[in-house]
Amino acid sequence: MQIAGYTIVADYHTHTRHSHGRGSVVDNVEAAHRRGLHAVAITDHGPASLFHIGVPSLSAFDVIRQEVNAARKMYPGIEVLLGAEANVISEDGQLDIPLELQEKLDIVLVGLHPWVRWRPALKGASLVVGNFVGAWAGWGRRHVRERNTSAIVNAVLYNRVHAVTHPGYRLPIDTRALARACALTGCAMEINAGHDHTSVEYLQVARREGARFLLSSDAHTPGRVGEVSKAALLARAAGLTRREIVNVR
């Protein structure tokens, strides 16, 4: 799939009905196959997401695994990865996908999301409130940004994660500090086509630290699987080369 001069070969961030997407695993695989992708990942939200956005419990990944295996048989021409979009649930970088399960998944994405069951609950609640009040009134913004940054940086350093989803989306972070951690561990920074979370300037800050990038759709419907145009155009505007993007050939 050619977009903005890049050949996109994979979409590693898609949701199904197991979290808050609309289609099934097979629907997403079928859509990716139709778009000519070589690989697609099923990355439903971890169980700490509030308001039924995430999987109901970790056992959902057993069911998803079975559906991924069935989809592999139906579409042998495309690589299907079993994954998750984990939530950061503590400032020391703990995820709602435990390490034992991370080891069993083909790909682990990690994102900072505002509506999550944090641990410990009270400290987490102060961060949730801080993010809202900080964004709204500018109050304590720097302090909140530092706490968000340490949570996501620790998550990258102490887990087996392949990419950080939508860095900076709704929760301010220090892009340079995150990019350094990503460059160190080989974790990619996502450019998400579904959310306005970054800019040419931030991409250039991150690339100077040696971080690599991932273009993804964050599709919540099968029709959007592989739809990464917005992300590709931004990458092009920032002058990113093929070597700097993990799902481009």
- The contact pattern for Zn ion, residues 104-143, with x = CB under 5 A and - = no contact, is -------x--------------------------------
**Closer residue to Zn ion (CB): 85 or 91:** 85
Which residues make Cβ contacts (< 8 Å) with residue 106, sequence separation at least 6? 41, 81, 82, 83
- Alpha carbon distance 201, 120 (integer Å): 35
Rounded least distance, CB 113 to Zn ion, Å: 6
Q: Is there a contact between 102 and 111 (Cβ–Cβ < 8 Å)?
A: no
In whole angstroms, the minimum distance from the beta carbon of 139 to Zn ion comes to: 26
CB of 76 to Zn ion, least distance (A): 27
Touching Zn ion, residues 194-233 (CB under 5 A): 218
Residue 165 makes contact with Zn ion by CB under 5 A: yes
Distance between alpha carbon 43 and the CA centroid of its chain, in Å? 8
Contact 188, 212 (CB under 8 A): yes
Check residue 27 for interaction with Zn ion (CB under 5 A): no
Let me know: does 87 contact 116? Beta carbons within 8 Å: yes
85 or 227: whose CB is closer to Zn ion? Answer: 85
Shortest CB 21 distance to Zn ion, Å: 9
Q: Is 120 left (phi over 0), alpha (psi -120 to 50) or beta?
A: beta
Pick the closer one to Zn ion by CB: 149 or 165: 165
Select the span of 20-28, 60-68, 85-93, 123-131 touching Zn ion (CB under 5 A): 85-93
Q: d(Cα 121, Cα 109) in Å, to the nearest integer?
A: 23
Q: Is 28 helix (H, G, I), strand (E, B) or coil?
A: helix
Identity of the residue, 110 or 210, whose beta carbon is nearer to Zn ion in the bound complex: 110
Total residues interacting with Zn ion, rule: CB under 5 A:
4
Give me the amino acid identity at 106: D
Distance of CA 180 to the CA centre of its chain: 18
Min. distance of Cβ 217 from Zn ion in angstroms? 9
Question: Which residues of the shown chain bind Zn ion in the complex (CB under 5 A)?
Answer: 85, 111, 165, 218
